[in-house]
Structure formats: C-alpha cells, structure tokens
Amino acid sequence: MKRKNLIFYFALCSLSIVSCRNNDSATEQTEVASFVNSPAPQVDGVTILDKVQAQVDFGPRVPGTAAHKACGDWIEAEMKKLGLDVQSQNFPAVTYLGNPFTGRNIIASSNPSATKRIMLSAHWDSRAFGDQDDERKNEPILAANDAASGVAVMIEIAQAIAKDSSQLNFGIDYIFFDAEDMGPPADYGGKVQNDYSGFCLGSDYWSQNPHVENYTAFYGILLDMVGAKGAKFKKEGVSMQSAPSVQANIWNTAASLGYGSIFVNQKGPEITDDHWPVIKNRKIPMVDIIDLQAGPNNGTFFNGWHTHDDNMDAMDASILKAVTQTVIQVLYNENAK
C-alpha cells in the first residue's frame, strides 16, 4: 500500500459488482439508533498486541528470509491449534525488478463444508526497505502495523470463535496473503512487472488460483494497518464501490460498540491493496479496513508507514481491540440473520 492507481480504479468500476459514482461528502450519518447486536465473544487488546510482538520478534518477514519462513510456520501452527483446515499455497512471483522468488499464501478454513462463506484476509510479509524513512532507506522494516497487526487480529478472531460455545452457520476462510508489500521504492522510475505497481502479488495469484475451485464468498474483509496509535478508519474508496452495504454495516457496528471516533464516517481515497485483485478476479465484494489518518509525513497513512518507525512503539492495544471486536460483532450479527 500502495499508491493510488486511478487508471486501474476506473477499469474496476466497469465490473458488474461495481457502481461508479462521485461521493465526496465529508461526513455521513451513522445509523445506530435501531442497531441491535447479537451476543458475541469479547477480546482483550493486550493479547492481540502480544500476537503482534510475536511476529515482530522474528524480525523483518521479507520473502526468502529465515524470519519469513519462521513466521509463516508460526501462523500455520496457531491456526492448526484451533482445528482449522490449514494449507500453504506456494506461488511463483517476481520482484519489481523482475527477479523470481517463491511466495507463500496461507489459508485456514472453518466449517469447510458450509456453502455460505465469509473471507477475512491480511498480508503477513514485511517491506524489504524503509523507503519513506529519512535514514536506513535500504534496510527492511519490522512492519508491526503494516503486516503484523492484521495477522494478529485474524488469529485473535479465530481463537475467540473457536473458544465460543456458539456455532456459526457459515464458514470462514482466513487468508494470509504474502508478497503484498514487494512494490518498488517511492523514488523508483522504472517499469514494474505486475498489474498493481509491484504490490499485491499473493492476492493476485490467489484470486486467479483460489485454494478451492470456483471459490466465492458472501463478502470479504481485508485488515491492513489496524493497530497504530491515533488510527482513523475512513471508508476506503474502492470498498465503497464494491461493497457499500457491507462497509456501512461494519462502520455502523463499530459505532454501536462505541468506536465511532475510530471508524469515522468519512470517505477516504482509493487504495491499491489486496482487495483489488479479489474484487477484480473473483467478483467478491470486499471491504478494506485500513488506517487512513493521513499523517503529515506521507499524506495518506500513519506516520510510520514504510519507515523504521513502524515498530511496537507505534502500536495501541485499544485500537487492535476496537477492530477485532467490531469484526467479531459483524460476524455474530451475520450469524443471527
């Protein structure tokens, strides 16, 4: 994440699931007066923060490194403990310079026989360089927020559901995408090898080669940069076109739980992220929950984005809890329908 790519966005708007319209209103009304939430498991932000720390402790999880392999093995092990069907999807990829490498998507599925499915996803790789930093631009970053936070939230959700006595009447596919952040540095002026400015390699591959033939889902939720201090989750623009009702439901649910100051009812920009290939190739309506607090250092994302300040000091357990609790509540409300 990703520079905005309006050419691709306009192409995306031609898809049947997308309705292009201009909607630049600053703030929308949140509908919470008649909102009724179903009973749902409660989570602790500190335990989610611990899961972020566990990933950061491996070091930068750049594809092809020992830290990357160790973290991937840890994710698989955590999901297998819950009795989920877990598989790795190794895939061929090339860097923005055209150098080949092997990526690894990880898919964990609950209730695999259920026809109705909801997809949760995050990327688990970390950026190979801190190109937005003033120093150490060529060194890999820890990516506590821009990678580990989304993974931590997904694992916490899976654990909370597994421990709960209630049984969901649909299946969940937790998809951990690799090689999302392999795009070129900001000052790169050469030609890039893939359709998403060199980003989103794992989601692009999976969307064309899903783990189940003809895979589809009722909807999907992408979790990206969901744990930094001061996070503001505006309504990301492509999500607003792809899945407006799902997006509205998530934001209304957050407001009903008291998180309206974090999930702000304001339109954000269109972001090149892992939901794009899924929307384009699988026709699954998908919402990107992504921090768009527009820090002064980069104008769109939190200040630590693609810098060495994306570390544990940037993280906030209360933000992680807000996101996790909101998504869990959305799932349990869906179960009651």
Q: 32 falls in which pLDDT band (50, 70, 90)?
A: low
Output the pLDDT for position 299. 73
Cα-trace Rg, the chain: 18
Q: Is residue 202 part of a domain?
A: yes
Domain that holds residue 331: 6-335
Given a cut of 60, whether residue 10 has pLDDT beyond it is no
Average pLDDT over residues 186-214: 94
Q: Is residue 32 part of a domain?
A: yes
- Is the CB of residue 150 less than 8 Å from the CB of residue 178? no
Average pLDDT over residues 103-120: 98
Query: Which of these ranges, 23-37, 129-143, 295-309, 315-329, has the smallest mean pLDDT?
Result: 23-37
Query: Which of these ranges, 203-207, 231-235, 290-294, has the smallest mean pLDDT?
Result: 290-294
Domain count, the chain: 1
Average pLDDT over residues 74-80: 99
Tell me the percentage of the chain whose pLDDT exceeds 70: 89
Output the pLDDT for position 15. 43
pTM: 0.92
CA distances from 73 to 46, 66, 104, 158 (A): 23, 11, 10, 17
Q: Which of 117, 136, 66, 84 is nearest to 309 (CA)?
A: 136
Given a cut of 50, whether residue 9 has pLDDT beyond it is no
Given a cut of 80, whether residue 184 has pLDDT beyond it is yes
Q: Answer with the residue of higher pLDDT: 9 or 94.
A: 94
In the block, which residue shows the tokens 């744990």?
227
Question: Which CATH number goes with the domain that contains 172?
Answer: 3.40.630.10
Q: Is residue 1 part of a domain?
A: no
Q: 35 falls in which pLDDT band (50, 70, 90)?
A: confident
